[in-house]
Amino acid sequence: MTADEFREYGRAVVDWLADYWDRVESLPVLAQVEPGQVREQLPARAPEHGEDFYAVLEDMDTIVVPGLTHWQHPSFFAYYPSNTSGPAVLAELLTAGLNVQGMMWQTGPACTELEQHVLDWLAGLLGLSDRFLSTGSGGGVIQDTASSAILVALLAALHRASNGRATRDGVASGRFTVYTSAEGHSACEKAARVAGLGAAALRTVDTRADFSMDPDALRNAMKRDIAAGYTPAMVLATIGTTSTGAIDPVPQIGSVCTEFGAWLHVDAAHAGVAAICPELRWIHHGVNDYADSYATNPHKWLLTTFDCDACYVADRDALIGALSVLPEYLRNQASESHSVVDYRDWGVPLGRRFRALKLWSVIRWYGGEGLRAHIRHHVALGQQFAEWVAGDSRFELMAPHPLSLVCFRLRGPDEVNRQLLEAVNATGRIYLSHTKLRGTYTLRMAIGAISTRDRHVADAWDLLCREAARLLPG
């Protein structure tokens, strides 16, 4: 592709995306295809001769878009937000075009230093302390997802808990345990498996009435394990659990971790970015005092294209000690001077994309003021929706709702709630997901799409009420 062809097709792609954003509200939110339907429309074999790029755009319209669930739809209320924005997409284009391999400072000095700097910016916006800044003994790194952040935190925790033996000799050299609440993310179990501990090393801690981790139950679990000869390695506390948005009591959990010498990783994947707003910074209470590592996802609620997890450590030595492998072909003068950061030692992959460009672009375009307005708008919509639920005797709220996630259901059997969810999703007008809270089928309203406005939430409530009336006549 020549430079002139790239210009022509590049303009066409930008136009296509802009048109898509303009029309996405008119599309069914949930994909309206059957399994295998997309593949049936694709040629059985790869083309022998090259095709014009306009043919790709045509197939986007006829094959791909009809087979998508539209996460950028203003009435996408399922799971959690997954925002993108103009500045983030343009920065992704720059990232792809430069195609920097940022494994070490030497292979991309600007890639490394911009990542350090923009994560320090974000730490300041979130109210994180100097412990997590790159100018001290800690620092931030962009992982792909919160799952990877949990894994590298666990590896660092094992390195510290074993005085390096787990890194050198493997986890079989000791018996280690990992703790999270019953509402904690499944990525914690996967991390335990990948790290070689196995799912049997994971301890599921009971929750309190508000679905947050019970610190007393955590302490008792650790006492039992120590008596049985285990070493508590890491506790995963959550700020904004997936099911309910519960916020674990980090100060009390941190105190237990200090008592038993366990690493505290705080997973704030969805909700953490809300701390950009000073009035919501209470969600981080205890993080600055107790957390050994912390992660939040700008790619969920902060307008930054997937994938971008901001992962911070208070002391980088354990992380680097767990993950640093230095073959001869990677040795260089800059690294050996110890005056630079080599991010190859901060994650599992050696290769690294220039992800910082999109977060840098988003923060520069919106500024702190714009980002706070974005979060506050969705929180206000969530509170309004919760008021509507609470004011209708047919419905009930199932969990606290401090931010923009509301868990609710129709009073009555689970089957009616399943039917309600299926009915509203089948319309194509909105998309909600569900969870089970202590065995009870519950609907989730997760507000956070960039284009969601008051009318979209009002329309969703109107649709829910109409379907409820149909299911519960009289």
Residue ranges covered by each domain of the chain: 3-68, 93-361
Question: Which residues face 188 on adjacent strands?
Answer: none
Query: Per residue in 47-63, pLDDT tens?
Result: 999 999 999 999 999 99
CATH class of the region 3-68: mainly alpha
Please report the pLDDT score of residue 474 as a whole number.
62
How many of the other CB atoms lie within 10 Å of CB of 431? Answer: 24
192 near 198, Cβ under 8 Å?
Answer: yes
Convert the pLDDT of each residue in 285-334 to its tens digit: 999 999 999 999 999 999 999 999 999 999 999 999 999 888 888 899 88
Q: Where does residue 200 rank: exposed (0-12), middle (13-18), buried (19+ CB within 10 A)?
A: exposed
CA distance 399 to 243: 10
Residues 236-290 have pLDDT tens digits of 999 999 999 999 999 999 999 999 999 999 999 999 999 999 999 999 999 999 9
DSSP codes joined into one string, 21-39: HHHGGGS-SS----TTHHH
Note the pLDDT of residue 170. Answer: 76
Tell me the CATH architecture of domain 93-361. 3-Layer(aba) Sandwich (3.40)
